[in-house]
Structure 1
Amino acid sequence: MERVKQKLIDLFLDASNYQSQFKRKLYEDAFTKYYKKHKALFEEIIAMCENAEDADQVIEELSAVIPEYAHEQINQIQKKRKRSSRILDYNLDMITFVFPAIVYDENEYCVKLADAILEKWNRPPIEGNIQWTSYEKLQGGFRRRLCYITTAVCESQNKADDCYELKLLRSYRDSYLMSSEEGNAVVEEYYDVAPTIVNHINKRENASEIYNEIYDRYICPCIRLLEQGKKEECREVYTEMVKGLKRQYLYS
């Protein structure tokens, strides 16, 4: 049991080594390497649960390892800004690598373990509201080239995935931005940082207010400019959105 607990801590710590590769062109390869490196741990956990008289007790004990370790590390940080930064980093590690790896094979014990870890993770000092998601969902978003931020904004306003705003902006992206080297560079930057930005926003209590602000400040002006045929002016607003949100939610 103690050896498995240490491996769980290693799983958590190792995620930070891959976090910089949570980008459209790098994530698939990075996750594959991360998962293969730790696959034996998940197999060992499954075997422990299958052979235990009380599998739920095994899951309960193992599920406390990562949250307790992370919480202890956070509690040792005195400065508020550094503490907040560490929490954000830890949350991203969990969302993009740790949880997707644990549930990758969809084994019932591993899914239960992920649920139990999540419940303990979202307690003080983190006091978060993150949710685990699968690798397939994260990678699928990259493959479909989703308008991550615009989609998140529209979802917060109960708009459908095929709403007017999304359809117009997707068409603009594919037919105009992607046709030029400069526009393509903006789109590439967007898809590298947008998933992480959305994860940062979703962890905040006022996420809906933030999305409303993004809608008013960026989405609506883009829509109006496109309706007026001002595609280049729209690109300037689009670029400002990417760089502004990047500064605010990645480097602040």
Structure 2
Amino acid sequence: MPTSTEYRRYVALGDSQTEGLGDGDDTAGLRGFADRFAGHLESARPGLLYANLAVRGRLAGQVRAEQLGPALDLRPDIATVVAGVNDVLRPRFVAAEVAGHLEEMFAALTATGAHVATVTFPDIGRIAPLARPLAPRLLELNELVRAAAARHGVFVAETALPEAVADPRMWTEDRLHASSLGHERIAAALAHAVGLPGSDDTWTRPLPPPGALRRSAVAAELRWATAFLGPWLGRRLRGRSSGDGRTAKRPDLLPLATDSAGGR
């Protein structure tokens, strides 16, 4: 099994966070924590090859069904598996079922000798008060993910825990996707979790004071519900997903400097 300075092939599996929503846009290109983590890996060992199979809107079971096989074919030295939040948001949610899909991916990838890393999920209610009822789901899923990761020797970046995660600057306006700053911190958390040279716990520290900007909490909640919650509910009622018709932005292993998605 490779050490942290011998990673040559990195494959990212997941949904919109791994695809990079919130860090760039679909016109200029997306970056995201996986691209940024690939940068940390490249710094530790130049010559990295990187593939990103993630597609927005995917449930954990869809990530397993659609991305695990192609990921195994790419024979990664290291992989990230980050999925489950889309499941948490659905009316029907069974934490053990979601964690089971994640564990199948952990088991299959580690069985090949690959290192695998994942994350825990922040309580969305700390960022969007209207989403507070989802907190028990996230706590349960995080506990199951930690247990599954321990069974398979998977690294866990505890991105759910730092107080900084509730800082609005870590999130986009939809409060579901990390901002560029948030993606940067997730990447740093993963680098720290796998023990890359030069990584540390700086990612856990609070952000500098935001200054004097203030806004009405009630007005902010209404704007969020109108701009983001309403359209999301509409897609669910129509059986639609934000990922319909989309494919992976970087399906092949390529040198990190290769701009396959317009995102660099």
Short-chain TM bin: 0.3 to 0.5
Q: Which has the higher helix share?
A: 1
Where relative contact order (Cα < 8 A, 6+ residues apart) is larger, the structure is 2
TM-score (norm 1): 0.32
TM-score (norm 2): 0.31
Larger radius of gyration: 1
